[in-house]
Structure 1
Amino acid sequence: MQVSVLLQTKGTDVVTVRPEATVAEVAIVLAEHRIGAVVVTGGGGSIDGVLSERDIVRALARPDDGLLAATASSLMTSEVVTCQPDTTVEELMSTMTERRIRHMPVVVDGSLVGLVSIGDVVKHHIATLETETRAMHDYIAHPY
């Protein structure tokens, strides 16, 4: 199965913020949308970075009184690992696990077309296992 199937299920809407958004503004966006990360973009579909709750929490541990006024671009992860719609879910899981990534933007020709989270991958994996379990149960219960 490919990432495009995950996007068909969850949708392609991606919550984004501008690089100059303050951390306070980003925190509000995260809370309002009940999400763990936003894509930072200056527009045009290109990705400048990803800013997650973890990035903000790690910054809180540093002695800095001005954190809430800091910009998204000052805390974001700028070396963003992306995937494409034709990436397999197995490749996605492997990359997310190896790189310890929880949110991966999906791009086509350098433009953002979606965002996949580890939660989306786990949800898909559980649904697959449930389907296989049901099929095995039906086969055992009604072999003919």
Structure 2
Amino acid sequence: MRISDVLKLKGDRVATIDPTRLVRDLVVELGEQGVGALVVSIDGRSIHGIVSERDVVRRLRTDGAGVLDLPVSAIMTADVYTCEPSATVEELMEVMTERRFRHVPVVVDEHLAGIVSIGDVVKHRIAEVQLERDHLTAYITG
């Protein structure tokens, strides 16, 4: 299965935030959007970074509540790993596991086209395994 298949089922909507917004705004957006990460973008198409709940918590631990008044750009990850829709679920699952991140923006022609979480990847991999099991069971019993 390809990432494009995941996006067909999930949709291509991506929650973004401007890098100049405050971390306190980020926290509100994460909660309102019901997501674990936002792509940092000034126009909703380009990728300037990514910022997650983990980034906020880690900076709160080291810097205290003052981090809430910093711009998102101060805590975001600027070097963002991305993938194309043609990547396979297996490839992305391996990269996400090895590099220990949970969200990967999907790009087409260097523009934001979607985002995939580790939950999305696992969900679709489980569906594949169940389908294979059903086919094998039907083959054996048929």
Q: TM-score range by the shorter chain?
A: over 0.9
Deviation string, structure 1 residues 74-107 (Cα, Å, up to 9, x no partner): 1000000000111122221121112112100011
1:117 matched to 2:121? The reply is no
How many residue pairs get matched? 142
Deviation string, structure 1 residues 39-85 (Cα, Å, up to 9, x no partner): 00011611000000000010110133411111111100000000011
Q: Kindly indicate whether the alpha-carbon contact (under 8 Å) linking 2:81 and 2:104 is maintained by their aligned counterparts in 1.
A: yes
Mean Cα displacement is larger for which, 95-104 or 60-69? 60-69
Higher helix share: 2
Q: Kindly indicate whether the alpha-carbon contact (under 8 Å) linking 2:23 and 2:69 is maintained by their aligned counterparts in 1.
A: yes
Sequence identity of aligned pairs in percent? 49
1:138 matched to 2:138? The reply is yes
Q: Kindly indicate whether the alpha-carbon contact (under 8 Å) linking 2:16 and 2:44 is maintained by their aligned counterparts in 1.
A: no
Secondary structure in structure 2 of the residue aligned to 1:66:
helix
Matches within 5 A, 1:77-96: 77-96=77-96
TM-score, L = length of structure 2: 0.94
Mean Cα displacement is larger for which, 23-32 or 7-16? 23-32
Q: Kindly indicate whether the alpha-carbon contact (under 8 Å) linking 2:89 and 2:125 is maintained by their aligned counterparts in 1.
A: no
